[in-house]
């Protein structure tokens, strides 16, 4: 398989215009928007439910509908960008993200909001793969390493900042918009982004465009939907029959997808996700590590938002600001990441996992001792240490995954990576979130929080073990 990948790479030289500093800022701004919007609703859900008279199951769909359409369409978005031009898809996806954000903010009822969120996820799936593909195709050498490091830092910071921003916007109640402002704030950002992108983002595309793989696209969509839909919606819906039927279909859909893709690759056709890509050890092992890391990250963000608001009695601002130390530490430490990787290689990732474990342990102790008086000061040491550890993991692993992907396949490579990350983020809310909410009635909020954080610690131990198998250096 590696020889197939090599031969295709040799036939696909790419000469792309360079990405300027302002162009890099623009694509990173676009990269932040979808991740912010995945987390920004966490602290807005209680207010949203009261205003729209929405049940818990419908509110779950506000989160799950976005995450599902986003995850299902990401690889297709990357392939279409490779085929028709990444700049055009980037601009179109960003414009659609602005329009769908406006639709979310103006939604008159809960089901309209769910539909708008599904459309918003689809727009994000058209836009985000072009960010990574443009960086891969329009930069090289140290500039690419720096750009990928900044992308990883942006991704991690956006996930924490989204929750903080959501709390601030809901509490600010700008012009009486309440929770609607968490969506409406995207509109002016998108307008500025489109203005900058039209002037600074270069056009890049594969020199040998590869047609869309229809059967692969459908089977991947079926596999992801049958896994993520029941896991994200099942608990709130009471685990009806359709959730169990969907989970039963998932392994067959996943096997059929793999078989179709492998057959297409062997017969010289172009599958949606070329199995030959997984011959790249950096991509394969990096993706495996992204899964438990992202599950733990999103699960923690959801659980802490619920615990602080419903258990500790904090308002949306206080609940959001409780994570400020994590965001600040992540930002500061991520700036040091490239130099540390240059000196110590990917062992920085293992060290980051150990540091994150210390931080989560400190938060467990804080929750046990201080409950229900849990706020910024009590969480500060643990949140700051955990944020520093995360900053030494996520940016490095994201950079590693794409380090050997040829520019001609930058779109599909980026789509595969983001799909893996997004699916794991959705699984984190579904698994750790469901565990926490299931434990609350019997054990109380404090013990449920402590047990869930201890489960996350087990996940961190797994990421540390997996990090030891990463290539020592990044190409």
> pLDDT tens digit string along 141-165?
778 878 877 887 888 788 778 878 8
More confident residue, 180 or 306: 180
pLDDT, average across residues 407-422: 78
What length does the chain have?
475
Nearest to 418 by CA among 152, 240, 165, 160: 152
Position 25 confidence tier, pLDDT thresholds 50, 70, 90? very high
3-state secondary structure at position 93: helix
> Residue 410: which residues within 8 A CB-CB, separation 6 or more?
82, 132, 133, 134, 135, 136, 137, 204, 402
SS3 state at 12: coil
Let me know if 259 is exposed, middle or buried by CB neighbors in 10 A (0-12, 13-18, 19+): exposed
Least confident of 122-131, 158-167, 342-351, 356-365: 158-167
- Strands, DSSP E only, in 10-156? none
* First CA to last CA distance, the chain: 20
Give the torsion through C-alpha atoms of 20, 70, 353, 283, to 10 deg: -70
- Give CA–CA dist 208/7, Å, rounded: 13
pLDDT for 106 equals 93
For residues 119 and 104, give the distance between their C-alpha atoms in angstroms, rounded to a whole number.
9
Share of the chain above pLDDT 70, in %: 95
Look at residue 191 and tell me whether its pLDDT is greater than 90: yes
Average pLDDT, stretch 84-98?
A: 90
| Residue 306 to residue 433: CA distance in whole angstroms | 9
Q: Which residues contact 228 (CB under 8 A, 6 or more apart)?
A: 64, 67, 68, 71, 423, 426, 427, 430
pTM for the full model?
A: 0.81
| Mean pLDDT of the 187-191 span | 94
The Cα 337–Cα 331 span in angstroms is: 10
pLDDT reported for residue 210: 67
Tokens of 147: 């750009």
pLDDT at 194: 95
How do residues 357-383 score in pLDDT, each as one tens digit?
Answer: 999 999 999 999 888 888 788 889 999
pLDDT of the residue at 385: 95
For the chain, give the mean pLDDT. Answer: 84
Q: Mean pLDDT across the stretch 380-399? A: 90
Q: What is the mean pLDDT of residues 395-408?
A: 82
Q: Which stretch, 45-59, 116-130, 295-309, 334-348, has highest mean pLDDT? A: 116-130
Q: Note the pLDDT of residue 416.
A: 83
């Amino acid at each position: 398989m590696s020889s197939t990948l090599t031969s295709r790479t040799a036939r696909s030289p790419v000469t792309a215009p360079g990405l300027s500093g302002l162009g890099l800022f623009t694509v990173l701004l676009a990269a932040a928007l979808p991740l912010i919007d995945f987390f920004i609703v966490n602290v807005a859900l209680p207010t949203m439910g009261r205003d729209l008279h929405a049940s818990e199951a419908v509110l779950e769909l506000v989160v799950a509908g976005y995450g599902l359409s986003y995850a299902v369409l990401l690889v297709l978005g990357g392939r279409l960008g490779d085929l028709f031009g990444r700049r055009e898809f980037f601009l179109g996806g960003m414009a659609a993200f602005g329009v769908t954000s406006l639709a979310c903010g103006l939604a008159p009822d809960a089901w309209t909001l769910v539909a708008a969120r599904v459309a918003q996820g689809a727009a994000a799936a058209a836009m985000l793969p072009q960010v990574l593909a443009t960086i891969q195709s329009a930069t090289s050498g140290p500039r690419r390493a720096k750009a990928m490091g900044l992308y990883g830092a942006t991704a991690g910071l956006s996930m924490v900042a989204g929750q903080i921003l959501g709390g601030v916007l809901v509490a600010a109640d700008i012009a009486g918009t309440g929770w609607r402002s968490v969506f409406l704030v995207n509109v002016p950002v998108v307008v500025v982004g489109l203005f900058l992108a039209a002037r600074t983002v270069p056009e890049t595309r594969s020199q040998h465009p590869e047609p869309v793989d229809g059967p692969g696209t459908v089977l991947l969509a079926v596999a992801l939907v049958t896994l993520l839909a029941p896991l994200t919606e099942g608990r709130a819906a009471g685990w009806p029959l359709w959730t169990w039927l969907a989970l039963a279909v998932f392994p067959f859909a996943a096997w059929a997808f793999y078989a179709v893709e492998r057959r297409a690759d062997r017969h010289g056709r172009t599958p949606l996700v070329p199995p030959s890509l997984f011959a790249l050890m950096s991509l394969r092992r990096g993706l495996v590590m992204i899964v438990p890391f992202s599950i733990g990250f999103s699960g923690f963000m959801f659980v802490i938002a619920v615990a602080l608001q419903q258990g500790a009695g904090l308002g949306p601002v206080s609940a959001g600001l409780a994570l400020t130390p994590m965001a600040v530490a992540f930002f500061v430490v991520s700036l040091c990441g490239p130099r540390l990787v240059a000196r110590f290689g990917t062992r920085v990732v293992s060290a980051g996992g150990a540091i994150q474990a210390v931080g989560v342990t400190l938060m467990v102790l804080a929750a046990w001792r201080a409950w229900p008086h849990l706020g910024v000061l009590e969480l500060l040491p643990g949140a700051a240490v955990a944020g520093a550890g995360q900053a030494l993991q996520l940016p490095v692993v994201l950079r590693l995954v794409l380090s050997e992907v040829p520019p001609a396949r930058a779109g599909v490579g980026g789509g595969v990576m983001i799909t893996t990350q997004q699916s794991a983020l959705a699984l984190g809310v579904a698994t750790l979130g469901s565990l926490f909410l299931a434990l609350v009635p019997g054990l109380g909020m404090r013990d449920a929080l402590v047990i869930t954080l201890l489960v996350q610690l087990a996940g961190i131990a797994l990421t540390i073990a997996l990090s030891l198998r990463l290539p020592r250096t990044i190409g």
